Structure 1
Amino acid sequence: MASFARIFLLGKYRDSEVIPSLVQLATSLQNWGCDLRIDARYHSQFPQLLSFVSLSEAVPGDLVIALGGDGTLLSTARELAGRNVPVLGINMGRLGFLADIAFEAIGQTLPPILAGAYVEDRRSVLHAELWREGALIGSGLALNEVFVHKGCGESMIELGVQLGSRQLYTERADGLILSTPTGSTAYALSAGGPILTPELRALLLVPICPHTLSTRPIVLPDHLPLRFKLIAARFPAALSLDSHSSFPMVCGDEIHVRRANCDALFIHPQEQDFFAILRSKLHWAEPPGED
């Protein structure tokens, strides 16, 4: 039945509530004849006849199924970025914008996907580096956004922003969000940015509470590198990547960001529609209610 060599199954880490759903899904996948592998962290929860592996063993031709919310899906996709291993999200969270399959519907939705009826969805990834006095302090990948912010301080920070070889602006604000199209429906949207469709090769720069009220979100090409320099801050600022890793910053630090040389690969049911998801989950473009 399956068009994939092996199925890797994992769930939201440290969430005991996901275990019964993992067990139920694992049983269904085995009944459907899938060659199943379980995340080794759940070894004690499953019968010994199952194979327990690390996600690092997944190769092209395999499928990774992640149960949880969008955070679980993002962390899984970051780990697999560039390895050409698709990720399928089963929503166990609140919104589930990326993990678009409801757990209650897996009996109807999963068999066609396992038989090869699905669409691929490649998403751009950002690579960010933090530099201090010529030394690399830290680096990482971001699927949603690179966020530079004032940390725990109460005062604004001042940032210089450069796009390629050109100076974009110097801004005092609570922070700046550099978002991929995937992240345009996340924090950047809450901060007032526009929605970018996933296939766009673009980035979105959104200021957080800027001192200059004329500063507005701007859409930029993603083939040019960006550089942020922390010019002034009364307290240590911070660099956050998808909220999964954070680095403290001091004045003079620079952040170098470019589109990574790898993409994240998702798969969805064939009937998946980005605009339908916007309407159903974000209530986008809803008609006005009747009086």
Structure 2
Amino acid sequence: MQTRIRFTASKAPAAQEAFARLVNRYGQSDQRRASVIVALGGDGFMLQTLHAQSGRDLPVYGMNCGTIGFLMNAYSDDGLPERLAQAEEALLNPLSMRAENVRGKISQALAVNEVSLLRQGPQAARLKVSVDGRERLAELVCDGALLATPAGSTAYNYSAHGPILPIGAEVLALTAMSAFRPRRWRGALLPKGAQVRFDVLDPDKRPVMVDADSRNSVRDVISVLIHSDPAISYRLLFDPGHGLEERLIREQFV
């Protein structure tokens, strides 16, 4: 059966140029009839594309026209239908975030990589951390904290000195940024099914904001509830031998 390709591209000039070449060569499928999305850009655009595909169950094959491109394949004009036919699929369950701010407003969002809480002012945040309804840290004083999926473990989590997680690992990484109390706390590995709650202990003096994949910011939060959502799966396609498992291993030997 012929692969019906729908191309999307970031606004970067390199991505727009690639978009024009590929559409001219392979055509552009109607969005309602497409069997695969080919995303042209960097990791940020891949996350944007995945969020836009929620509920459509279409696989996404990325080609790097950005900078790092951890979630992308190498770019080439040639042999795209053959590459798509041979591609290996990875399924990712996003994190579901529910945040309440000081005015009682509830905000919800999904995150493929991580949900991060960040201090909103000059003073460190004071957080209480609970897992599955049980208090685990009565006070975490830090610049911020995040909960990352295996797919997101090489992104913000890794920059914050969190662990790299194998893509098939049934765990999440809870990582603090610049922890002051407990001194140099290195974080924790939690079961994938865990429900994590952050409570902001001093929201007036030490305000905190929360981000889901650095794209859904909520300011002045007082509590954030996060869990992995098994009911939602994002489908990513990778060239054989270059899937997420290999990339996560390779990243640790750079």
After TM superposition, the score normalised by the length of structure 2 is 0.90
- Secondary structure in structure 2 of the residue aligned to 1:232: coil
Percentage of matched positions with identical amino acids: 27
**Whole-angstrom distance in 2 between the partners of 1:225 and 1:188:** 18
**Equivalent in 43, 46, 51 of residue 78 of structure 1:** 51
- Secondary structure in structure 2 of the residue aligned to 1:27: helix
**Equivalent in 106, 110, 119 of residue 141 of structure 1:** 110
Tell me, yes or no, if structure 1 residue 162 matches structure 2 residue 130.
Answer: yes
Shift of 1:275: 5.5
**Whole-angstrom distance in 1 between the partners of 2:170 and 2:115:** 16
Which residue of 1 is the match for residue 186 of structure 2?
216
Structure 1 runs (4+) greater than 6 angstroms displaced: none
**Whole-angstrom distance in 1 between the partners of 2:196 and 2:245:** 30
**Whole-angstrom distance in 2 between the partners of 1:262 and 1:141:** 10
Which amino acid in 2 is paired with 1:263?
A: S
**CA-to-aligned-CA distance 1:169-219 (integer Å, 9 cap, x gap):** 120100001101111000100110110011112110000001122411211
**Whole-angstrom distance in 1 between the partners of 2:133 and 2:77:** 49
Shift of 1:274: 3.9
Q: Does the CA contact (< 8 Å) of 2:15 and 2:66 recur in 1?
A: no
1:1-291 pair list within 5 angstroms: 2=2, 4=3, 6-12=4-10, 14-30=11-27, 36-37=28-29, 53=31, 57=32, 62-99=35-72, 101-103=73-75, 105-108=76-79, 110-114=80-84, 116-132=85-101, 135-151=104-120, 153-169=121-137, 170-211=139-180, 212-233=182-203, 234-250=205-221, 253-260=222-229, 261-274=231-244, 276-278=246-248, 282=251, 284-286=252-254
Which amino acid in 1 is paired with 2:122?
A: E
- Secondary structure in structure 2 of the residue aligned to 1:223: coil
> RMSD of aligned C-alpha atoms?
2.1
**Whole-angstrom distance in 1 between the partners of 2:248 and 2:77:** 21
Q: Does the CA contact (< 8 Å) of 1:125 and 1:143 recur in 2?
A: yes
Q: Does the CA contact (< 8 Å) of 1:82 and 1:264 recur in 2?
A: no
**CA-to-aligned-CA distance 1:88-126 (integer Å, 9 cap, x gap):** 001011111101x222x3414x23234x22211001201
Q: Does the CA contact (< 8 Å) of 1:129 and 1:136 recur in 2?
A: no
**CA-to-aligned-CA distance 1:132-154 (integer Å, 9 cap, x gap):** 47944211110010000102x11
Which amino acid in 2 is paired with 1:74?
A: L
Which stretch of the first structure deviates more once superposed, 219-228 or 129-138?
Answer: 129-138
Shift of 1:236: 2.8
- Secondary structure in structure 2 of the residue aligned to 1:248: coil
**CA-to-aligned-CA distance 1:249-291 (integer Å, 9 cap, x gap):** 25xx1111111220111011223244643576x4x325xxxxx
Q: Which has the larger radius of gyration?
A: 1
Which of 1 and 2 has higher RCO (CA within 8 Å, sep 6+)? 2
**Whole-angstrom distance in 2 between the partners of 1:222 and 1:274:** 18
Q: Does the CA contact (< 8 Å) of 2:207 and 2:220 recur in 1?
A: yes
Q: Does the CA contact (< 8 Å) of 2:90 and 2:244 recur in 1?
A: no
After TM superposition, the score normalised by the length of structure 1 is 0.79
**Whole-angstrom distance in 2 between the partners of 1:254 and 1:194:** 25
- Secondary structure in structure 2 of the residue aligned to 1:22: helix
